[in-house]
Structure 1
Amino acid sequence: MADSYTQGSFAFTCSHAEMALIEEAFQASYDLGDGDTPAEPTPEFLMAFPSVAPDDTWSGFLAIFDDPDFPNFGVEFEGGNTLDQPGVSIVSFWSMTDFQPAALGQLIRHCCQDTLRQAPIGFEFAFSCSRARRDEFGGGWCAVFADRIEIETTREVLSRAIEGGIV
């Protein structure tokens, strides 16, 4: 028996309004994950996560998760103001066990459009295991742009390099 982990840690800056959306998204994920009904979403939240199913306010938000029945980003989250830039927040995400890169990329893309129009946000993640098991180690990266997300594992890049493809 072995335990496999997806790990990651990164931070970025965004506006206070974007930070408020991220906080609202995290609270909704906690409530929905616990089987509770979240507080009524703000108009800004509904614009960031438009409904994809009629009569289901939360369907646009739940659609960012690989499993909508388990709306969890798998990270600890902290936000705060920068000391040298009024109006700017610092967002930090980290996890040693269940980091969810695809959901986090979607969260950033939906909540941080103004910031992403200025520059993309990127992060890396790692796959590890409590035992030396074949193919249980690796990692990947995620680049979030205003109009898309690019995410790839090191295994995919390695396969292309071995096959003589362009890395």
Structure 2
Amino acid sequence: MANNYIHAAFAVTITSSEAELIAAAETAIDAIEEDLQGEDRREAYNALGPAFADAFPPISDDPFSGFMPIFPDKDFPCLDATITIDDGQDHTTRVVTFSGDQFGIEQVANLLFACAKSALPIGFEYAYTCDKLRNDEFGGGAVIIKTDGIAYPSTHAIVSNALSAQPHAETARLVLTTRDAEHGLLFWNNEAGFGNFASATLFTEAEAAGFDVPIALDEPEWLACPAGMP
């Protein structure tokens, strides 16, 4: 048996009002867990203030219905993070720290997207670990939060994409060649003209398409630079 963990720890500087909104979100979770009903539930929602209502307006009869979508599991509204709020460099800012060993990646990202507009774009990293050295139990990723949405790049995706990627037109390396009766195959250099391969100028496909090919006795041709060559 093994235990898996998602570790993260980071801090973000936001406005005082945004920090108050994050604190209100924690209070909202406590109210939801109390399972208040009817007017008591409405009063708990109203007590969080107009800023919370603006950020999470109800989408159904339940006053907290606009807040619940930040959680991956609506039946388990928990941030899965320890949050501390400290004074910033001046009275208008606060430094909010998030940390945890079973970190709630998605809900924290959603909370910051909704409550920390002044800090966007922001991002944080996390590590996925195991207390036993078992294959494929280690990894991690990052969360990139911008005004237009949230992205979740992971180390697994990086590895998979790198292994399956085909050479891209912008990174493909080409050389311009011509054949000489005495010296054989020659390679173009932007400074010295045709010469040996070691001095050849490398082109991307886009650069090659726009290059003014020089006139030579043998019609110059583009060749792909062999894999592994510098």
- TM beyond 0.5: yes
1:108 is aligned to 2:109:
no
Q: Tell me the residue number matched to 1:68.
A: 74
Deviation beyond 6 Å, 4+ runs, structure 1: none
Separation in structure 2 between the aligned mates of residue 144 and residue 90 of structure 1, nearest angstrom: 17
Q: Secondary structure at the match of 1:6?
A: strand
Aligned to 1:25: 25
CA distance in 1, matches of 2:95, 2:158: 31
1:94 equivalenced with 2:99 (yes/no): yes
- Structure-2 separation of matches of 1:5 and 1:17: 32
Question: Tell me, what secondary structure is at the counterpart of 1:80?
Answer: strand
AA matched with 2:15: S
Q: Counterpart of 1:45? A: 52
Once superposed, what is the RMSD of the aligned Cα atoms? 1.8
Tell me how far apart the structure 1 counterparts of residues 114 and 93 of structure 2 sit (CA, whole Å): 18
Larger Rg: 2
From 55, 58, 61, the equivalent of 2:61 is: 55
Where in structure 2 are there 5+ consecutive unaligned residues?
A: 169-230
Structure 1 residue 114 displacement after superposition: 2.9
CA distance in 2 between counterparts of 1:6 and 1:30 reads: 23
Sequence identity (%)? 33
Match of 2:124 in 1: 123
Gap runs ≥5 in structure 1: none
Rounded to whole Å, the distance in 1 between the matches of 2:35 and 2:135 is: 37
Shift of 1:34: 5.1
